[in-house]
Copies of this chain bind each other. A is one copy, B any other.
Amino acid sequence: MDVRLSWRHATKRYFLVGFIDANLRGASQVFLQNNPVTGLIILVAVCWGAVNAQTPRAAIGAAVGLVVGTATALVLRVPHASVGDGLFGFNPLLTGLAISIYLRPGALMWIYVVIGAVVTTVVTLAIGTVLKTWNVPSLTFPFVLTTWFLLLATYQFAWLRNGALGQPVLPHSLDPRATRVHVTGAFLTPSMLKDVSEVFLIGNWVTGVLILVALAVNSLWAAGAAIAGAVVSTLLALWFGASAGVVAGGLYGFSAVLTAVALGGVFYHPSRRLVLYALFGIVFTVVIQAALGTALAPVGIPALTAPFVFATWLFLLPKRDLVPTAHRELPEHDVIKTR
């Protein structure tokens, strides 16, 4: 592997190469991977989706968030190993992406993106300090928490208009007619691929395919887990009677895809018992997705990846109680670290 070796050498010799490497790994860490090639393909996938949705600013927002977040971590003198693994890139990337999608474009919006990215890095350190107590990773919670605050605030600021948030409403029971759909392969396949792309708030099946390729480059197991998460969550949502339009948009599956990758990545020797355990984790992610849809309706903000975070925390925390067990500790270098 000559190329890999010389890249690794270059990242240590030249600051800029190391910085680029950290950012690429940061993009891959959204899916709990640590691989610059995976990150590169993911960034291409995001660009494709953003341009096709005629919101190229979403890709720029993601890039700005990624770079500003990683740079902030360096300024704050976070240990280089963590920064180099991209652990301070993926949350600000998502914050930048979300702000640039949900807010109306403008100069102030870009300042808000930069503020959001800086604060997300601080919040990543804060949440990491708290969660270290139980040896659980922050996942994308720093992004979720910071972005919830940033989005809620826009209702009070006339020059930071949110253009793509739903109007705050009191929740009501779903009209059964909203569930009507012909469940065919032509319906399911793009839905499930959008489950993957919606991790980046993009509803584009090509982006989904590219992300699956990116995952497969680093870990076939992760790609398989992502697909399993998409399949299970989509079928479960349809079975429970979710809105067909929401399922088609991939909005019931993106958190479940991440839960599947996260819980899947913790198992060293997957057994039937542990696959069943992960399955319940995916099922509960879908329940939390629907639940947050209800709970957040009156304040007009989206769930983001909170269902993934909450479900994965609840299913990772019991770890130490399951003895003897086939779990392995969260690995230091190929999956997101606890910090």
Contact = CB atoms under 8 A, between A and B. Distances in A.
Number of copies of this protein chain within its complex: 3
Interface in A66-117: 75-79, 108, 115
Interface centre among A134, A284, A289, A320 (most CB of B within 10 A): A284
Interface residues of A, number: 81
Given A169-B170, A298-B298, A317 B126 contact: yes
Contacts of A77: 322-325
A267 to B, nearest CB: 14
Interface in A281-322: 283-284, 287-295, 297-300, 313-318, 320-322
Specify the main secondary structure of chain A where it touches its partner: helix
B122 A315 contact: yes
Nearest to A132: B134
Interface stretch (A31-39, A219-227, A237-245): A237-245
A160 B122 contact: no
A152 interface: yes
Interface string A141-163: 00000001111111111111110
Contacts of A125: 317-318, 321-322
Contact of A155 (B133, B153, B171, B288): B171
A289 to B, nearest CB: 8
Contacts of A123: 314
B321 A128 contact: yes
